[in-house]
Structure 1
């Protein structure tokens, strides 16, 4: 993390509450988010490894219609499972074989420390299943048993890099993710931060459109630099309202307060008080930021409006 102490982490409780509240208020409805069955969650995680989530829904439902339990999958003919995988274009067929093998090991009690038909409840135990790597094991432990570590995938790295200026280093990402995740709440937290990366902080960010809950603290939103480890070039948002909002925040970070006509040229080089991009346009932009709790706009006696960051 830059300088070893990202300022937002001093407000970790507020950061956590903002994200979980945002997620719980509204998120994409995927059926595997409505279950804590480790078998159903493992199927969704293996299917999602190389397939867009919207396409996984039909395949997941069809798979569970055919093999509704881990016992049913273990008893299935492996060729039939592989054929299903091919029919739904789910990627490497080895994943189907590994999933079938994992079901057999669960049913036969071949995982250390658990009885036949029972599931290991932590990432370490789940990793004993063939084809279940650290990420998938942690996801199943989190979403089925609320007993996982902080998930760190490409989306989560992008979020942490942009929001908190975390160094592009696996150990730094792991440390930051672990510090932020509330203890014992891996299910909601990992769902929420991955939703943030999928909905608001994709390769082309949708900060305002998606109501990103971390705009108040976000380094990228403040500076307008939305590059990331998987986004080596600045996303195409030149001239967008999002970019202009970021410039307002950046300017106000440098100055205690600015009058509209002093702020305007720092947001757009073509700012003209009475022009298309003038006071009326800037007031509207500032009003949006004020509604989001990011700035305050104060009208002085001489009718001059002064803008400052909200403390």
Structure 2
């Protein structure tokens, strides 16, 4: 797609629904996903800028236990906040200073009323466009479509976009349901975090966009932050794994029933067709993992018991 890319060839509602349903069915549980308090969300966003999310959980809880409200943080001694930040190894100490200053702005300059839009939130010290949009999205459901490194990787792979910020922003905005930035931004970031990682886990994580995904179809999982093809992606080993997983869900399948389930560009007489699939199945049969039986000229395969 070019920078004026749209989803005209897709069903946007189906794409949206698949992602949201996948996210709501099962996602990583972080405590800040269970709150709409802008103070608690801002703390989580600032902490997450340089620290792995699993480590942030304990630091976030300890910070809020000590300074449970924006008023409490604004009234705190800045040196105590910086010392906490340093003790928790949360990255640059100036982020602690900015967070303390931002709390003072909310209390003094905004009379305790939080700004609600991305533009207004950027008036707070140390709050840039990404953090402002995150707080607007997750606290007030009033954000724009997020476009971070993970989301770019998802969109690049899924829809074959050019590596162009304008294209990413256009498609991200077109996809996001109006007024639903909270669930949408959480969902698409979760997709990038657990399924469409630099080394993707399409089948293992049950990626909901596989039927539309350009990378899944072609086996090319390069991306702006993945300039060379991961060794595993598109390999016979990967497709062998898919065969075993799919056969685990069925008693038996013919080649033409199995093929499209492991590769969306499967065509019986094509490059990735019956001959290619027979080669995979032969390897798996030699390894004692499956059985292939000929029934009146039709190959049928199943997991070996």
Of residues 283, 293, 298, the one that matches 1:304 is 298
1:76-87 pair list within 5 angstroms: 76-87=76-87
Aligned: 1:193 with 2:205: no
Match of 1:253 in 2: 265
Question: 2-side partners of 1:248 and 1:8: how far apart?
Answer: 28
Aligned: 1:265 with 2:260: no
Match of 1:65 in 2: 65
Bigger relative contact order, structure 1 or 2, given CA contacts below 8 A and separation 6+? 2
Contact 1:149 1:186 in 2 (8 A): yes
Q: CA deviation at 1:73?
A: 0.3
Query: Structure 1 regions of 5+ residues with no counterpart?
Result: 110-114, 284-298, 307-311
Aligned residues: 283
Question: 1-side partners of 2:288 and 2:7: how far apart?
Answer: 33
1:2-151 pair list within 5 angstroms: 2=2, 5=5, 10-109=10-109, 115-151=110-146
Q: CA deviation at 1:7?
A: 6.1
Question: 2-side partners of 1:95 and 1:5: how far apart?
Answer: 37
Q: CA deviation at 1:235?
A: 1.6
Match of 1:288 in 2: none
CA RMSD of superposed structures (Å): 3.1
Question: 1-side partners of 2:222 and 2:23: how far apart?
Answer: 24
| SS in structure 2 of the partner of residue 155 of structure 1 | helix
| SS in structure 2 of the partner of residue 18 of structure 1 | helix
Which deviates the most, 230-239 or 30-39?
Answer: 230-239
Contact 2:7 2:171 in 1 (8 A): no
| SS in structure 1 of the partner of residue 197 of structure 2 | coil
Normalised TM-score (structure 1): 0.82
Q: CA deviation at 1:130?
A: 1.2
Q: CA deviation at 1:253?
A: 3.1
Normalised TM-score (structure 2): 0.83
Question: 2-side partners of 1:274 and 1:78: how far apart?
Answer: 63
Change (3 A) 1:46 1:279: closer
1:142-161 pair list within 5 angstroms: 142-161=137-156
Match of 2:237 in 1: 240
Q: CA deviation at 1:187?
A: 0.1
Q: Deviations over 1:173-228 (max 9, x none)?
A: 11110010000000000000000000001111011111110111111111111111
Q: CA deviation at 1:101?
A: 0.5
Question: 1-side partners of 2:160 and 2:209: how far apart?
Answer: 13
